[in-house]
């Protein structure tokens, strides 16, 4: 009988929480959406395009942004807004590339929100910019719920995250314009079938542009640039 108890599947459903929590959460996301719309109006008034890059820690977000900046920094005036809990490793790397970077330390928050982006925009000379990359905190869950006002959303996943990244985090992919399947060179070692990941992405978001890439080596970068209309 003990076995039966151990093996039985216990599920805590999302809707078991108090209604109060749900309403609080709704007001937070609604307020964020308003601020995101305002960010978009500010960006548009300066004719600055913003691209939000999301994905787990270690998936390759910074490497992707660096590779794109290398190819585009003579064509566009670019800045990078970089969200991290506490570190500035990524923004230091980006500055070494000769691209301006604003670091947003989110403290304990596991995602960037639109108000933080607003404050970052205030620190940038928007009249002197054409393109902004926003690197979100490494996280495949809540950034999906917090639009920032960007024009395009990119999600980076790596085959090293295993075969279930997409099926376990479907919401992250629904609004993505471009999904990068990174570290293709490691797929065999990881025994992860990248085509299965592509199928999973297609299922939740048929309109996303999917690019197989090895960001560190530059493979797929030009395709990402084209997919972003840059
Ligand atoms: Mg990074
Ligand atoms: Zn979060």
Cα 76 to averaged position of ligand 1 atoms, centre (Å):
22
Return d(Cα 110, Cα 141) in angstroms, integer. Answer: 9
Q: How far is CA 75 from CA 1, 150, 160, 176, 199, in A?
A: 69, 20, 33, 25, 34
Report which of 170, 125, 165, 172 is spatially closest to residue 144, judged by C-alpha positions. 172
Domains along the chain? 48-227 (3.40.50.300)
Return d(Cα 226, Cα 46) in angstroms, integer. Answer: 23
Cα 221 to averaged position of ligand 2 atoms, centre (Å):
28
Number of H helices, E strands in the chain: 10, 7
Cα 149 to averaged position of ligand 2 atoms, centre (Å):
17
The tokens describing 196, both together, are: 């299965």
pLDDT at 16: 64
Q: Nearest ligand to the C-alpha of residue 136?
A: 1
pTM: 0.90
Are 181 and 212 in contact by the 8 Å Cβ rule? The answer is yes
pLDDT at 187: 97
- Tokens 């393109």 belong to 131
Summarised one tens digit per residue, pLDDT across range 10-33 is 766 766 666 667 777 778 899 999
Cα 138 to averaged position of ligand 1 atoms, centre (Å):
7
Return d(Cα 90, Cα 82) in angstroms, integer. Answer: 7
Q: Which residue has the higher pLDDT, 3 or 212?
A: 212
Cα 102 to averaged position of ligand 1 atoms, centre (Å):
13
Q: Nearest ligand to the C-alpha of residue 63?
A: 1
Give me the DSSP letters along 108-129.
T-SS--HHHHHHHHHTS-GGG-
């Amino acid at each position: 009988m003990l076995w039966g108890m151990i093996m039985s599947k216990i599920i805590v459903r999302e809707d078991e929480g108090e209604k109060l929590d749900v309403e609080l959460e709704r007001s937070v996301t609604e307020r964020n959406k308003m601020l995101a719309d305002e960010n978009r109006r500010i960006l548009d008034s300066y004719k600055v395009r913003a691209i939000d890059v999301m994905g787990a820690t270690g998936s390759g977000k910074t490497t992707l942004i660096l590779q794109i900046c290398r190819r585009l920094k003579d064509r566009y005036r670019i800045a990078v807004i970089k969200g991290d809990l506490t570190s500035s490793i990524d923004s230091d790397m980006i500055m070494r590339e000769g691209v301006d970077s604003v670091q947003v330390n989110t403290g304990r928050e596991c995602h960037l929100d639109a108000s933080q982006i607003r404050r970052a925009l205030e620190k940038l000379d928007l009249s002197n910019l054409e393109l902004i990359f926003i690197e979100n905190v490494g996280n495949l869950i809540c950034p999906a719920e917090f639009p920032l006002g960007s024009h395009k959303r990119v999600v980076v996943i790596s085959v090293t995250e295993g075969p279930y990244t997409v099926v376990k985090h479907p919401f992250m992919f629904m609004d993505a314009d471009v999904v990068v399947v990174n570290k293709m060179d490691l797929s065999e070692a990881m025994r992860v079938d990248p085509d299965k990941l592509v199928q999973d992405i297609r299922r939740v978001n048929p309109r996303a542009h999917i690019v197989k890439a090895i960001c560190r080596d530059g493979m797929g970068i030009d395709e990402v640039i084209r997919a972003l209309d840059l």
